[in-house]
Amino acid sequence: MSPTAPPTTLRREIGLPGAVLLGLGSMVGTGVFVSVGIAAGVAGPPVLAATVIAAAIAAANGLSSAQLAAARPVSGGTYEYGYVWLTPAFGFAAGWMFLLAKSASAATAALGLSGYLLDRVGGSGGSGHTAIAVMGALAITAFVAGGIRRSNVGNAVVVGAALLGLLLLVVTALPMAVSRGAHRFVPALPAASDPEGMGRLLHGAALMFVAFTGYGRIATLGEEVREPRRVIPRAIVVTVTVVTVLYLAVAASGVGVLGAEAFGAAAEESAAPLEAIAGALGASWLGWVLGVAAVAAMAGVLLNLILGLSRVLLAMARRGDAPAGLARVDPARSSPVAAVWACGLLVAGIALVGDVRTTWSFSAFTVLVYYAITNLAALRLPPDVRLFPRWIPVVGLAGCLGLAFWVEPRIWGVGSALLVVGLIAHRVARRRRG
């Protein structure tokens, strides 16, 4: 590299606590403040079982991601792993699906932030809801462009606020949910002879799966993690374990206090279902605490998603799968500023859809395809770098493919079409480059 060439590498500044906080910041947000309610509306009382199914598949995927990231600790996640251990087409497909999935997930977080904020100030939805979501996405993008160190400090603050609010909700609501609302948990599982119920269960599991995928942010930031072979697997295991317990507690609180149908309706109508729990409990103080915690958590999700998205786009630009200018790293901030802003604008554009169920469902299909490729790459790891047995990525692959097509047909139809369009464009571009 010439002395005047712009830098394209990032500094390793994240240890185990920082990596866990990044994972929690990506997961303790939209998943618990919005999507648990959406999944309850789809699955009904078996939403707890759907959460366990999603957690099991996420754990397998997390271990696959961990060993891949430990073997190749660079930015880009499965985009890089697909190129190295599969084929360029698989690598590009992973990067393309990641950008679509996490942009839709970030747009859902922006809409959730807007919903909780408006609920606190007594505002209404409509165009104002969407406008606040777009402005929130752009404000967080400007913050992330300042660099990873500043982003870590902000992330620690919002994660702490979110966990405090959720702890107060669970302590207040769960005893009442168990003592007075036990009948609302029936049936805990659909009957084997009920195909429609089983379909709703798997659809709910697909929606909940997205809520667990924040651990992937740890892998996509592999180039910035210290001692990646040790830190990344530990951070993923800790993050998934903590969040599983949290999601189950919040889901049980919502179903027990409101009932699954009302819990789901609150998510779709206002994107603020946990405040509906506080309202049913008659705890106005809890509504305010949850509102503040939710806004902080959604900001944390946006922060972490835009971080991860920009690092994948950075990796794609390095390989020529995105404009070369997006590969530049600002030397003063150690941040790919152009890539960050490109991702932030994409998120803001998707937020204009204004419907959390649509954006979250689209994220579910595309992220399941992404993690299917992750597990395929993990199956190709040579024995000397493999950390876990081969059956783990087999379980992850089967789980991802098994859940992907339980979302609405219109969603997986659009997602599949975009995958094909992307692969065709990638093939044409590679031929032109010779």
Q: Is residue 119 part of a domain?
A: yes
Please check whether residue 155 is in contact with residue 27, taking contact to mean a CB–CB distance below 8 angstroms: no
Average pLDDT score over the chain: 85
Residue 60 lies in a domain: yes
Look at residue 6 and tell me if it is in a domain. no
Q: What percent of the chain has pLDDT over 90?
A: 36
Q: What is the pLDDT of residue 2?
A: 47
pLDDT above 80 for 118: yes
- pLDDT at residue 1 greater than cutoff 50: no
Q: What are phi and psi of 86, to 5 degrees?
A: -120, -110
Phi/psi-derived region of residue 269, left when phi > 0, alpha when psi is between -120 and 50, beta in every other case:
alpha
**109: its two tokens:** 């977080």
Is pLDDT larger for residue 355 or for residue 219?
355
pLDDT at 199: 93
| Inside any domain, residue 304 | yes
CA dihedral sign of residues 327, 333, 337, 341: positive
Domain count for the chain: 1
Contact yes or no for 114/296 (Cβ under 8 A)? no
- Greater confidence (123 vs 130) lies with 130
Range of the domain at 227: 16-426
At residue 378, the pLDDT reads 95
Q: Is a pLDDT exceeding 60 seen at residue 41?
A: yes
Output the DSSP codes for 348-403. HHHHTT--HHHHHHHHHHHHHHHHHHHHHHHHT--TTT--S-THHHHHHHHHHHHH
Give tens-digit pLDDT for 138-147. Answer: 998 988 887 6
With CA atoms as reference, report the closest residue to 247 among 27, 23, 20: 27
Residue 220 reports pLDDT greater than 90: no
* Confidence bin at 86 (pLDDT 50/70/90): very high
Query: Which tens digit of pLDDT belongs to each residue from 256-299?
Result: 999 999 999 988 887 788 888 988 888 888 888 888 888 887 88
Q: Rounded to two decimals, what is the model's pTM?
A: 0.84
pLDDT tier, 123 (very low <50, low <70, confident <90, very high otherwise) = low
Please tell me the predicted confidence (pLDDT) of residue 13. 58
Question: How many other C-beta atoms can be found within 10 angstroms of the C-beta atom of residue 91?
Answer: 26
Q: Does residue 4 fall inside a structural domain?
A: no
Position 5 in a domain? no
pLDDT band for position 75 (cuts 50, 70, 90): low
pLDDT over threshold 60, residue 148: no
Domain with residue 138: its CATH number is 1.20.1740.10
2 falls within a domain: no
> What residues form DSSP beta bridges with 14?
225
Does a structural domain hold residue 389? yes
